[in-house]
Structure 1
Amino acid sequence: MSVKAQRIIDGLGGAENITDLEACITRLRTEVRDPSAVNVQALKQAGAHGVLTSGPVVQVVVGAEAESLADDIKDML
């Protein structure tokens, strides 16, 4: 499994906090149970180029590897 995928899961507040995840070109679109559990700094340290949040929706900008990271994360959830 991907270390980067695990770090992103951790930054999103852990597997139990993620309710939905999909890849969208250069981003991971996620929905989380508790937005306050999301650690933007940890996501950036994991390699995210940016993080956009709006309530429970969190978009993690990761570049061209979004699809493969989404697959890795889904396998880990």
Structure 2
Amino acid sequence: MFEKMQQAFWKALTPDLVVDEPKVAAQPVAGLAANVVAALGGVDNLKSHKAVALTRVRVELRDVARVDRQALTAAGIPGVMTLDGGVVHLITGLKS
């Protein structure tokens, strides 16, 4: 309970720096953590995903508007590159 109060306090002081909890509860998908899947809009928003390099995961989405970039940053994804056709590249570093 104290952690939630503390997070609410910091959220009030710095709303752009403290990330809210993901809006969509999601299960992990092979190769993607549950918090990353939730930030991408949930399992039903994923068409496909594939590691395309040591530092990048290519994800095809049904609706790119459902992506929560703040939640992706909180999940440890330092970079997101959105392309045409619902394709999103997650820059993961060497942990993809």
Q: Identify the TM-score tier after normalising by the shorter chain.
A: 0.7 to 0.9
RMSD: 1.8
Superposition pairs of residues 35-74 of structure 1, within 5 angstroms: 35-55=64-84, 56-66=86-96
Structure 1 distance, partners of 2:57, 2:80, is: 10
Give 1:17's aligned residue. 45
Total equivalences in the alignment: 65
Which fold has the larger relative contact order, with Cα–Cα distance below 8 Å and residues 6 or more apart in sequence? 1
Structure 1 distance, partners of 2:69, 2:88, is: 10
Q: CA deviation at 1:28?
A: 1.1
1:29 and 2:29 correspond? no
Runs of 5+ in structure 1 lacking a partner? 67-77
Secondary structure (helix, strand or coil) at the match of 1:60 reads strand
Higher helix share: 1
Runs of 5+ in structure 2 lacking a partner? 1-26
Detail structure 1 runs of 4+ shifted over 3 Å in the superposition. Answer: none
Q: Give % identity.
A: 37
The higher radius of gyration belongs to 2
Q: Which amino acid aligns with 2:58?
A: R
